[in-house]
Amino acid sequence: MAESTKKWYVVRAISGKENKIKSYIESEIERNNLSSYVSQILIPTEKVYQIRNGKKISKERSFFPGYILVEADLSGEVPHVIRGVNGVIGFLGAEKRGNPLPIRMAEVNRILGKVDELAETEEEMTIPYVIGESIKVTDGPFNGFTGTIENINEEKKKLEVMVKIFGRKQPLELSFLQVEKES
């Protein structure tokens, strides 16, 4: 089969269940021997960092919740099989039960480029704080306290903050992710 007949389509799916639906689509394609028609199924994701119980946790978050990219030749039974998968709402751009419309290659490259770019620059973080600024502690034993930034360590991504505890100023070393700007 010629590779040039395959185009990218966007499948609308139930938000939050993209990974499960992707595996359902893959197994249905395999079960119906349609693997030669579908080459890739992607869920664009980005890495997000959170602080939980004092630990930095990295999570994958869907870049376009509720959407799955499929590179396929939608001929014969392929669109019907994909639409029939549990959790799939339909194809983006199609009238009700009409022919699915492919997305432009420029859009696909932009989406994939954005995903690759996010994977490469995951550790890069800008320093949103300045010395003398008031901040509020959002994580750790001093959660809820307010203080002033005394020093910024860019390499370790830490702040030295003076917090007033029981009427006395106390220096604390906190991560960028443990504080937020006071509003």
Q: How far apart are CA 7 and CA 9, in angstroms?
A: 7
pLDDT digits (tens, 9 = 90+) for 97-137: 677 888 888 888 887 777 666 655 545 555 678 889 999 98
Structural class in CATH, domain 134-181: mainly beta
Q: How far apart are CA 54 and CA 162, in angstroms?
A: 19
Distances (CA, A) of 59 to 51, 56, 122, 175: 11, 10, 11, 18
| Average predicted confidence (pLDDT) for the chain | 83
pLDDT at 1 over 50: no
What are the sequence ranges of the domains in the chain? Answer: 3-120, 134-181
* Edge-to-edge order in the sheet of strand 179-181: 168-175, 158-165, 146-153, 134-137, 179-181
> In the CATH hierarchy, which fold is given to the domain comprising 3-120?
Alpha-Beta Plaits (3.30.70)
Q: How far apart are CA 110 and CA 135, in angstroms?
A: 37
The pTM (predicted TM-score) of the whole model is: 0.58
